[in-house]
Amino acid sequence: MSNPSAAMLVIGDEILSGRTRDANMHYLANELTGVGIDLKEVRIVSDERVAIVDAVRALSSAYDNVFTSGGIGPTHDDITADCIAAAFDVPIDVRDDARALLQAHYDRSGQELNAPRLRMARIPDGATLIDNPVSTAPGFTLRNVHVMAGVPKVFQAMVASLLTKLTTGKPLLSRTLRIDRGEGDIAGPLGEFADEFPDLSVGSYPFQQSTGQYGSNIVVRGQDTNQLDRAMIRLETLFA
């Protein structure tokens, strides 16, 4: 039985412009690997309605889960929730349960639940809320799309509350062997090694040392500890 698949959609002009470096993708990738959900694709698109709607539709039909980050705050450029509703042709409006969460939060902090803040209670029909223990304004799941905030602390808290509810699989394990020789020297036997273990995925990731010499990290991935151990012994013998 294969693991559930996943894609991530990052909504972020600020990443495409190079102004900020995405942190959520790396975090989510590690979390999903740990619970056996296979992240197969990531897309980063700009804060434009057509781009978001198209990507949501494409990814939602291709993978078991889609995780989005960004664009669910109170400002004019936060259009993700409306785009998700549009992608699935469902109505969206302020929902009572989300409004109640926000009302209680702002009452506690003595702030006004003004019109911009109320936008964060706009939830597409049929969605389930995702808990936000950091700053209250909830994310939501509509069909197989999980919509979360872009602020890393909030994103991480939402992922934590979400992952307990998803169908997970067998964690993908990995072992790494660092070889201080260039890929061109090891590629022949490495290819034969990969053929020898067809159930494992064998990747070679070259790096350049400060001396200018090339080396490579050989990463072997699979779900069976015993098989991985056997493969690593073979690999060490090959390149000792």
Residue linked to tokens 């960004």? 70
Whose Cβ is closer to a second copy: residue 111's or residue 128's?
111
**Helix (H) or strand (E) run with residue 166 in it:** none
- Indicate the DSSP class of residue 132: -
Whose Cβ is closer to a second copy: residue 221's or residue 234's?
221
Determine how β-strand 5-11 pairs with β-strand 65-69.
Answer: parallel
Contact status, residue 115 vs residue 82, Cβ threshold 8 Å: no
Closest separation between CB of residue 7 and a second copy, Å?
10
Closest separation between CB of residue 173 and a second copy, Å?
11
Whose Cβ is closer to a second copy: residue 90's or residue 219's?
219
Closest separation between CB of residue 126 and a second copy, Å?
26
Closest separation between CB of residue 199 and a second copy, Å?
15
Residue linked to tokens 């990052």? 10
Closest separation between CB of residue 147 and a second copy, Å?
16
Q: Which two tokens stand for residue 12?
A: 């972020």
Whose Cβ is closer to a second copy: residue 161's or residue 197's?
197
Whose Cβ is closer to a second copy: residue 190's or residue 231's?
190
Q: Alpha-carbon dihedral of residues 45, 12, 36, 125, nearest 10 degrees?
A: -80
Rounded Cα distance between 217 and 227, Å, is: 19
Rounded Cα distance between 10 and 8, Å, is: 6
Comparing CA positions, the residue from 124, 123, 101 lying closest to residue 113 is: 101
Closest separation between CB of residue 230 and a second copy, Å?
19
The angle subtended at Cα 217 by Cα 25 and Cα 21, nearest 5°, is 25
Whose Cβ is closer to a second copy: residue 90's or residue 134's?
134
